[in-house]
Amino acid sequence: MAIMNVNPTRMQLTKLKKQLITAVRGHKMLKDKRDELMRQFLDLVRETKDLREQVERELENCNAHFVNAAAVMSKESLDGSLLSPKQRLSVEVDSKNVMSVNIPQFDANARTPDKGDVFPYGFAFTSFELDDAVESLDRVLPDLIKLAQYEKSCELMSAEIEKTRRRVNSLEHVMIPRYQETIKYISMKLEENDRSSRTRLMKVKDMLLDKAHHYSN
């Protein structure tokens, strides 16, 4: 592990020790964040899987109703019946912060509260199969919107988990070891300088004593 390019001084040693403490604390916080994000992500993935299976069943049922309607109605009558919808759906998009991730919140609202407005046609010239098809599509629509919300949330949380994982690995395998190696290097340098200084002082002391008391004679 390469050490940092710094001057081996006591001031720099103190500074690096403080930075190491901060890095270790940050590493722990990021690990806790990653673990909690992973827990919530897995819970959301399970919910998304269950909802997707439910939506696929509902869409299969909806498609079967439309196939039945197409079998008893002409293409022109079927297309004309669905040409001018009376109901309109709007989706309000908000967000919720989960562990620093802004996950979307979708809220669907119909233009009118009248359930009958979901049928864009009169009942005199259409079949009950078409009614069943439109009703089944109306029922599955909220689940489709929720599924979109869940899948987008999974995507955003997955990206945040990966980003947090890279930061944790960078601190754990690069930054913290580099701080530790640099601190060790500076400490050894300072100890070496202290020994050299003590040796020089002892030599100077011996020279002064020899000069004062003629120990060499």
pLDDT of residue 137: 86
**Residue 137 belongs to domain with CATH number:** 1.10.287.3240
- What is the predicted pLDDT for the residue at 28? 96
Look at residue 3 and tell me if it is in a domain.
Answer: no
Q: What is the pLDDT of residue 193?
A: 80
Is position 104 within any domain? Answer: yes
Q: How confident is the model at residue 173, as a pLDDT?
A: 93
The answer to whether residue 1 sits within a structural domain is: no
Q: What is the pTM of this model?
A: 0.76
- Domain limits for position 183: 10-210
Question: What pLDDT score was predicted for residue 214?
Answer: 63
10-residue mean pLDDT series, the chain (217 residues): 81 93 95 94 96 94 89 83 77 88 88 74 76 87 93 95 96 94 91 79 74 61
| 192-203 b/e (C-beta count within 10 Å ≥ 16 → b) | eeeeeeeeeeee
Looking at the domain assignment, is residue 216 inside a domain? no
pLDDT for res 215: 54
Number of domains in the chain: 1
Domain assignment present for 5: no
Q: 42-62 b/e with 16+ CB inside 10 Å = b?
A: eebbeebeebeeebeebeeeb
